[in-house]
Amino acid sequence: MGSSNLTLIFATLFLYLLLHFPSQAEARALKSPAKCPKLLDQVCKTSQNYAFCVKILMSNPLTLLAPNTKGIVVNALDMVRKESMKTSKFFDGLANGKGTVPAFKPALRECASDFKAASGLMNLKVLEGEFATMDVNYALDDARSCETKLAMDKVHIQSIPAAIKSWKKFYAVANAAALALENLQK
C-alpha cells in the first residue's frame, strides 16, 4: 500500500471520528439520563397509569435530555398536543370519508374540532402555574363533549372507542405533567 493511500485512509478515519464524536456539550447532556428516572417519577407519580406515562415519555429522546422537571413537562405536553392533533385528524378523516353515514358527519366534525381545541390547551404558555391541571381538564371536557355528541347522534363506528381511549391515556400523562408543574410553583 502506498504512502498516499495510507494517508487517505487515516484522513478519512480522522474525519469520520471528528464528525461523529460528541462535543463536550453533547457529552454533558448525555450524562443527564442518570437524573431522568427521578425526574420522570416526579412527573408520572400522579398519573393514572404510571407505566404508560414512563413508557411514553421515555419513547422520546428529548425526555432523556431534559435538564429538569419543567423540561420533561414541556416534552409531555408536546407529545399530548401531537396526539390530540392526530385524534382530530382521525375524526376529520371519518367525517370526510365517502363510506361514512351522512347523519354521522356533523358529530364527527364536532369531535375533530373538540380534539383540535384540546391540542391548544397542551401548551406551557397557556397553562398558568397553580391552575395548570384545571386548564388541562378543559381538554378532557372537550373529549367528553365529543363522546356526548356521538352518543346523542347514535354514531357507532368501531374504531372510535379505541381512538378516544388512546387519547385519554395520553391525557393522563398531560394531567400528571400539569400537576408536576403546579408542584414546582409551590
Query: Diameter of the chain by CA atoms?
Result: 82
Check: CB of residue 140 under 8 Å from CB of residue 105. no
**Count of beta carbons in the 10 Å neighbourhood of residue 138:** 13
d(CA 26, CA 45): 29
Per-residue model confidence as pLDDT tens digits over 44-100? 999 999 999 999 999 988 888 888 888 888 888 889 999 999 999 999 999 999 999
**Do 174 and 139 meet the contact criterion of CB atoms below 8 Å apart?**
yes
Gap between the Cα atoms of 54 and 165, Å rounded: 18
| Domain spans in the chain, listed from the N-terminal domain onward | 1-30, 32-185
pLDDT tens digits, 154-166: 999 999 999 999 9
- Nearest-angstrom CA–CA distance, 93 and 70: 34
CATH class of 32-185: mainly alpha
